[in-house]
């Protein structure tokens, strides 16, 4: 547990510093991830998120853009908004252009479990470029994956008009892989395991992720756990953190 806690502090920035937003923007552009800790109300969390760009209102958000992630069993057709394990994914992968930033804040940690699992897609890209260009090629092939209810045709690594690349992934009942991508899935899952970073968000801790660089998920938990989520479009001119990363 001590090691897991350390990983949280590897990316930690003190939210009370007056230049927190500048520092966080800088860290997000360099590493793609920031962690923070502070007792925040819902309004304060929303205000903090808004400092980074434009609120991305989506199908599950309330009027302020936030939504609550907790033990919900109403949507049994879609298993992930429950206390069960949530596999690696990109938030709002069903959008042609997903939001560039994801904010997650743990209001109440689970008594047991619920650890965040995170994976740096840029690191994955670099490893594949060094060790397995064929696999990388398949993961970049346009139209090799279909995402979400609206059947967005894309790929795991997708090139943006500005030359940057972003990662888009999910592993549930709303993704369809072409056969070549399906065939490399066991290898990809092995790499995911090797590159996974795990830490447990305690009450009042949170993270900010570049949604087009880091995949995120979480382990199952026992008891009650509540978190707040915001998606933010921080692309220029709304903010300073684009969706993609340079390769």
DSSP one-letter code for 15: T
Q: How far is the CB of 86 from Fe ion (least distance, A)?
A: 7
Which two tokens mark 209?
A: 């992720």
Rounded to whole angstroms, what are the CA distances from 193 to 12, 116, 186, 189, 240? 23, 14, 11, 6, 31
Cβ proximity of 66 and 229 under 8 Å: yes
Nearer to Fe ion, 87 or 164 (CB): 87
Residue 89 CB, nearest distance to Fe ion (Å)? 6
Q: Rule CB under 5 A: which residues touch Fe ion? A: 91
Contact 215, 119 (CB under 8 A): yes
Peptide bond into 237 cis (omega under 30): yes
Between residues 91 and 235, which has the closer beta carbon with respect to Fe ion?
A: 91
CB of 216 to Fe ion, least distance (A): 6
Residue whose CB is less far from Fe ion, 101 or 136: 101
Nearer to Fe ion, 33 or 184 (CB): 33
**Which residue is closest to Fe ion by CB?**
91
Query: Ramachandran region of residue 53, left (φ > 0), alpha (ψ -120 to 50) or beta?
Result: left
- Supply the minimum distance, in Å, between the C-beta of residue 229 and Fe ion: 7
Decide if 232 contacts 100 (C-beta within 8 A): yes
Closest CB to Fe ion among residues 37, 91: 91
DSSP letter, residue 239: -
């Amino acid at each position: 547990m001590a090691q897991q806690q350390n990983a949280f502090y590897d990316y930690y920035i003190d939210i009370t510093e007056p230049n927190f937003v500048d520092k966080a923007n800088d860290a997000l552009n360099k590493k793609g991830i920031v962690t923070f800790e502070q007792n925040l109300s819902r309004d304060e969390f929303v205000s903090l998120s808004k400092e980074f760009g434009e609120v991305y209102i989506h199908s599950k958000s309330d009027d302020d853009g936030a939504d609550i992630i907790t033990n919900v069993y109403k949507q049994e057709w879609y298993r992930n908004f429950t206390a069960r394990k949530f596999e690696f994914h990109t938030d709002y992968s069903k959008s042609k252009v997903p939001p560039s930033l994801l904010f997650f804040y743990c209001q109440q940690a689970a008594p047991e479990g619920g650890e965040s699992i995170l994976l740096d897609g840029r690191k994955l890209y670099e490893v594949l470029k060094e060790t397995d260009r064929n696999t990388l090629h398949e993961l970049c092939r346009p139209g090799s994956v279909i995402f979400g209810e609206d059947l967005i045709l894309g790929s795991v690594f997708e090139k943006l008009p500005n030359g940057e690349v972003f990662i888009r992934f999910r592993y549930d009942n709303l993704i369809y892989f072409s056969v070549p991508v399906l065939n490399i899935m066991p290898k990809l899952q092995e790499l995911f395991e090797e590159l996974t970073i795990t830490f447990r968000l305690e009450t009042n801790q949170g993270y900010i992720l570049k949604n087009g660089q880091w995949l995120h998920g979480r382990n199952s938990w026992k008891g009650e756990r509540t978190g707040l989520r915001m998606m933010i479009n921080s692309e220029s001119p709304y903010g300073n953190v684009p969706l993609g990363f340079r390769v």
